[in-house]
Amino acid sequence: MSDTAAKTKRNTRAALGPYGHVGKIVGELDDRLGVAKGGRVFLDKIFPDHWSFMLGEIALYSFVVLIATGVFLSLFFVPSTQQVIYHGSYKPLDGQWVSEAYKSTVGISFDVRGGLLIRQMHHWAADIFTGSIVVHMARIFFTGAFRKPRELNWIIGLTMLILAIFEGFIGYSLPDDLISGTGLRIGYSIAESIPLVGSYVVSFLWGGTFPGDIIIPRFFIIHVLIIPLVLIGLLSAHLGLLVRQKHTQFKAEGRTENNVVGSPLFPTFMAKTTGFLFMVTAATALLGAFAQINPIWQFGSYDASKISYAVQPDWYMGWLDGALRIMPSWELTGLGHTVPLEVFLPAVVFPGLIFTLCGIWPMLERRVTGDNEMHNLLDRPRDRPKRTAAGVAVFALLFTLFAASSTDVLANFFHVSLNQVLWFFRVAVIVVPIISGLVAYQLCREMQGVHGIGQRKRAVIVRRSVEGEYSTVPAEPRADDQHAELDPEPVPVRIDIEPLSNGSTREPASSPTGVRQVSR
Amino acid sequence: MPIAALSDPHMGDAAKNPDRSEKIIAVILFVGVVCFGVAGAAYWQNWSPWTFGGALGAGLFLLGFGLTAWGKYLMPQGPFVEERHTLASTPEERDVMSAALVERSAVVVKRRRMLGGLFAAGAGIFAIVAAFPLIRSLGPLPGDSLEVTGWRKGTVLVDSSGRPIRKNTLVVGGIMTVYPQHTVNPQTGFITADGQAIDQTVLIRVSDQPFTTEPGREDWTPDGYVAYSKLCTHLGCPVGLYEQELELLVCPCHQSMFNVRNGAVPQFGPAPRPLPQMHLGYNDAGYLIAMAPYDQAVGPGFWERTT
C-alpha cells in the first residue's frame, strides 16, 4: 500500500469518527428515525437460554420455509378444476382425464427442476409447523407461561394454531388428487351437517353442490393470501407482545420476577437463532429429499366416484377422523328435519369445545385459584399437579382419538375384528384420559416430595469388606457437580477490547479458580 | 456495569479450548460451503432430487450448526440480566386516561344522542348491506340441490365408458359403478362432475333371480341386479369396497357396512341410514334403466332432509 493510499484511508476514518461506516449509518438513521437509543436497548434484549424456548422458534422458522417454498410453488400451480387430458412426462397417467390443478402439481413434481424437492419441503414444513405449534403450546401450558399478563398472547397463539390447521387442510386439498378430494368431500359433509345453516354454508362456499368448479380457485386464494396474511399479522402481534412483556424464565439463582437472565440478542442469541433457522430449513430439505410425502401421481386425479383404501389424513386432522369413526350413528329426525349428530357432534361441536376450553383456560384458572398476580417466573409442571393432570388428560384424549383414526389398519395388523377395535376405542377414549390424568396428578405429588429433584445425583459406590459386609460410600463429586452459578450481570455498555499483549489475540476466559464456571 | 473487559468471566467463551473450537467450526462451515457447491452442480446437471436435496440439506445444516456453535461457544455467554420494568402506569395516569374518555364522552357524545344513534344505525345498516355481496354472492341458495340427482324415470344406466348395461353384462357376484347415460361421453370417456359426485350408483348382481330387499320393492331387482346410491350416508365417501361372501358394501373412509340383500341397512359403523335403493327395470332395447328417481336425498344428512 502506498503512502498516499494509507493516508487517504486514515483521513476517511478520521472523518467517519471512531465507529467508521457503521457509526455513519447509525447516525444517518438516527437523525431521521431516532433509532439509536431504542436500538441499543433492543440489541441488549435478553433471551433465556433454556432449550424449551426453542420450540416456538421451530414454528417461526418452518413458517419462513413455508412462505419461501410456497412462493416457488405458486409460480407453477394452476388453481383450476378444468378437466384436461394428461400428456406429461409421467407415463402411467398418459391419456387420462385430470384437472389442471392436478396436472400442474404432477408437473411441479416431474417437469420443474427442483420442483419435487420444494413441494415435499413445503408439505413437511407444514407438518412441522403445526406440530411445533402444538408442542410449543404444551410447554406454555404446563409451565404456566399463559398466566397474567400473557393471556392475550396465549389466545393469539391458539388462533394461529387453528388457522394453521385450516391452512394445512386447504393446502392439502389444492392438488385435487384422489385422496385429498375425498378429504374435501368429508369436509363438505361436515359443513353440511350444521343444523339450520349447513346447506347454505356449503352452497355459498362451494358455489353450488359438491364438487363444483370454484372451490379450488377459492381455496387457492385463501391458502396463498388470506390465511398467510392473517398469520403474519398475528405473528407480528405475538412477537411484539413478547418484546413488550419480555420473556418468562424458570426459577434459579439470580432470576426473579423482576428481571430476565440469559444471553443478549446481539451477537450471541442472533448467531444461535440464525443458525437454528438454517438447521430447521435443513431438516425440511433432508426430509424433502429422502422421505417421500404425498405422492399424488400414484393416487390419480380426483374422481368423486373412486376411492382409495386405508388412507389417513395429515396428522393434525387425525384426531377429528378418529372421533368421527368411534361416534355411534345417532341421527335425529323429526318435524321434517334431520340433525346428523353422528357428524355434527364429533367434527364440529367437539373441536369447538376443545379449542374454547384452551382459549378460556387462563381466565378459568384465574377464577378457580383466585390468583390475579403477575407471573414472570415459570412453574415446574410437578408444582401444579391439577393443571398438569388436566393437560395430560386432554393430550391423552387427543392421542387416543388419533390412534382411533386407524381402526381399520389396526384391525388388519393385529388380526382382530373391526368391531373389537371400535369398542376398544369407545371405552379407551373415556378411560385413558381419566387414568392418564390421575397418574400424572399422583406423579406430580410424589415428585414434589423427592429431595433434590431436578439436580444431578451423586453416584453411590457399594463396597464389600473382607468379612463379607456391604457398605455404601458416596462417590467423589465430579468436576462440574458444583454449579457455582455466576451472578448475572447487567449487559455491559461496551466490551473493552484490551490491548493485545505477547501476540495472543484472545485471553482464555477463566474464573479466578481457573475453572470455567457454567451457567445453568 | 458500564464497561466489561474481555477478561470478565461473563464476556468469556464457553469453550474450554477456544482456538480448537474455532478450527472445528471453520471446518464445519467449509464443508457446508462444499455441500452447497455439490447442490449447485446437482441442480445444474439435473441429478436426482435426493442428491440435490441431500446436498442442500447437508449444507444448510452444517452452516446452521457452525453458526449456532459459534454463538454457543465463542460469544459472550453471560449470564446477563435485564431489569423488567413494570408495564402498568401509575394510578394517576390511569385516572387521566379514564377521565378523558368519560368526560369527553359526556360532553361531546351524550348531548348529541340523536347524532350518535343515527350514526350507529347507519353503520349497522352498512354492515348488513356489505355482508350481502360478501356472503350472498358466493353461491346460489341451496334450494333442493341436495335432494335431486340426475336420475329420472327411464334414465339408462351406463358404465364409466358410457356403455349401457344388458342382462348379461355382470355375472352373479359382479359389481360396477354406473352413471346416468347423459353424464358420460362415450367418445372421450369424460364424466361430468355431477355424474361422478352425485349420481354415482353401485350396481351389483347379487343373484340370477329377482329378490326382495324390503317389502314394497319386490320388482326393483330384475335378474338379481340391485343398485344403490354409492354415496355413503355418513360423510359422502363412495362406498367402494364389496365383500362378496358376506354381501356387504363397505365404506373405506369410516368402515360403515351395508348389507346389499336387505336394503343396504347399516350393519356396522357410523352411517345412520341405509343407502337409497334404485328401482331398476329394462327399456325396450333391453338396457337397464331407472324406473324412478331416487325416492330420497342421497348422501349424508343435513337439516332440510325430511326422512
* pLDDT means over runs of 10, chain A (520 residues): 68 75 90 89 88 95 97 96 92 93 96 94 96 97 95 97 96 94 94 94 93 94 97 97 93 86 89 96 97 93 86 86 92 89 95 96 94 92 93 96 91 90 95 97 88 70 88 72 61 57 42 37
Stretch (H or E) spanning B288: strand B288-290
Pick the closest to residue B42 from A200, A371, A117 (CA basis): A117
Pairwise CA distance, residues B257 & B273, whole Å: 11
Grid cell listed for A448:
414434589
Answer yes or no: do A204 and B138 touch at CB < 8 A.
yes
CB of B296 within 8 A of CB of B146?
A: no
Three-state secondary structure of A405-474:
CCHHHHHHHHCCCHHHHHHHHHHHHHHHHHHHHHHHHHHHHHHHCCCCCCCCCCCEEEEECCCCCEEEEE
Residue A323 parent element (H or E): helix A315-326
Q: CB-based burial of residue A163 (10 Å sphere; 0-12 exposed, 13-18 middle, 19+ buried)?
A: middle
Closest CA to A488 of A260, A304, A290, A297: A260
Q: State the Cα–Cα distance between residues B254 and B271, nearest whole angstrom.
A: 9
Distances (CA, A) of A520 to A195, A248, A252, A461, B75: 56, 15, 8, 27, 16
B70 lies within 8 A of chain A by CB: yes
Residue with more model confidence, B75 or B23: B23
Q: Taking CA atoms, what residue in A is nearest to B179?
A: A305
Enter the ipTM: 0.92
Question: What are residue B184's DSSP bridge partners?
Answer: B191
Mean pLDDT across chain B:
90
Contacts of A194 (CB under 8 A, 6+ apart): A201, A344, A348, B303
- Mean pLDDT score, B97-116: 83
B219 versus A459: which is more confidently predicted? B219
- CB–CB of A192 and B146 under 8 A? yes
Query: What b/e string do you get for A475-505 counting C-beta neighbours within 10 Å, with b at 16 or more?
Result: eeeeeeeeeebbebbbbbeeeeeeeeeeeee
Give the pLDDT confidence score for residue A82 in this predicted structure.
Answer: 92
Residue B4 has pLDDT above 70, yes or no: no
Residue of A nearest to B69 (CA): A272
Distant-in-sequence contacts of A171-175, Cβ < 8 A, 24+ apart:
A171/A122, A171/A126, A171/A223, A172/A123, A172/A126, A172/A294, A172/A313, A172/A314, A173/A216, A173/A219, A174/A77, A174/A79, A174/A101, A174/A105, A174/A216, A174/A219, A174/A220, A174/A223, A175/A101, A175/A102, A175/A105, A175/A294, A175/A296
Q: Please give the pLDDT value at position A479.
A: 58
Q: Tell me, what's the pLDDT at A238?
A: 97
Place of cell 415446574: A380
Among A271, A277, A343, whose Cβ lies nearest the Cβ of B70?
A: A271
Q: Please say whether the dihedral angle defined by the alpha carbons of residues A381, A382, A383 and A389, taken in this order, is positive or negative.
A: positive
Q: Which residues of B touch A49 (CB under 8 A)?
A: 79
Residue B226 and residue A335: Cα distance in Å, rounded? Answer: 31
How far apart, in whole angstroms, are the C-alpha atoms of residue A379 and residue B17? Answer: 36
pLDDT (tens digit per residue) in B230-249: 999 999 999 989 988 899 99
Torsion of CA A83, A87, A91, A94, to 10 degrees: 50
A71-103 residues labelled b (16+ CB within 10 A) or e (exposed): ebbeeebbbbbebeebebeeeebeebbbbbbbb
d(CA B259, CA B248): 5
Calpha distance A430→A499 (Å, rounded): 70
Could you say which of B80, B254, B272 has the minimum Cβ distance to residue A325? B254
The helix (H) or strand (E) run that includes residue A352 is helix A350-369
Looking at residue A251, its pLDDT comes to: 85
Residue B81, SS3 per DSSP: strand
> Buried b / exposed e across A174-191, counting CB within 10 Å, b at 16+?
bbbbbbbbbbbbbbbbbb
Say whether residue B145 is in contact with chain A using an 8 A CB cutoff. Answer: yes
What pLDDT, on a 0 to 100 scale, did the predictor assign at position A515?
Answer: 36
B42: closest chain A residue by CA: A114
DSSP secondary structure code for residue B188 in this structure: T
Q: Residues of B numbered 90-119 whose beta carbons fall under 8 angstroms of chain A's beta carbons: which are they?
A: none
From the list A120, A185, A261, which residue is nearest B79 (CB)?
Answer: A261
Query: What CA–CA distance (Å, rounded) separates A71 from A76?
Result: 9
Cα nearest neighbour of A269 on chain B: B71
pLDDT digits (tens, 9 = 90+) for B262-295: 999 999 889 999 999 999 999 999 999 999 999 9
CB contact under 8 A, B193 and A81: yes
Q: Is B136 on the interface with A (CB under 8 A)?
A: yes
Rounded to 5 degrees, φ, ψ at A164 are -65, -40
Say whether residue B187 is in contact with chain A using an 8 A CB cutoff: no
- Among A289, A309, A338, the residue with its CB nearest the CB of B252 is A309
| Amino acid, single-letter form, for residue A464 | R
Q: What is the mean pLDDT of the segment spanning B143-166?
A: 92
- In chain A, what residues touch B1 (CB-CB under 8 Å)? 489-493
Strand partners for A461: A473
Put simply, the answer to whether B82 touches A418 (Cβ < 8 Å) is no
Cell of B270: 357410523
CA angle, B67 then B68 then B74, to 5°? 85
Q: Is the distance from CB of A154 to CB of A133 less than 8 angstroms?
A: no
| SS3 call for A148 | coil
Distance CA B154, CA A475 (A): 92
Identify whether the C-beta of residue A86 lies closer than 8 Å to the C-beta of residue A176: no
**Averaged pLDDT for residues B166-190:** 92
Chain A touched by B186 (CB under 8 Å)? no
Give the closest residue to B21 by CA, choosing from B76, B66, B77, B60: B66
Measured between beta carbons, the chain B residues lying within 8 angstroms of A289 are 49-50, 52-54, 56-57
A348: left (phi over 0), alpha (psi -120 to 50) or beta: alpha
Cross-strand bridge partners of residue B80: A262, A489
Q: Who among A276, A285, A333 is closest to B57 (CB)?
A: A285
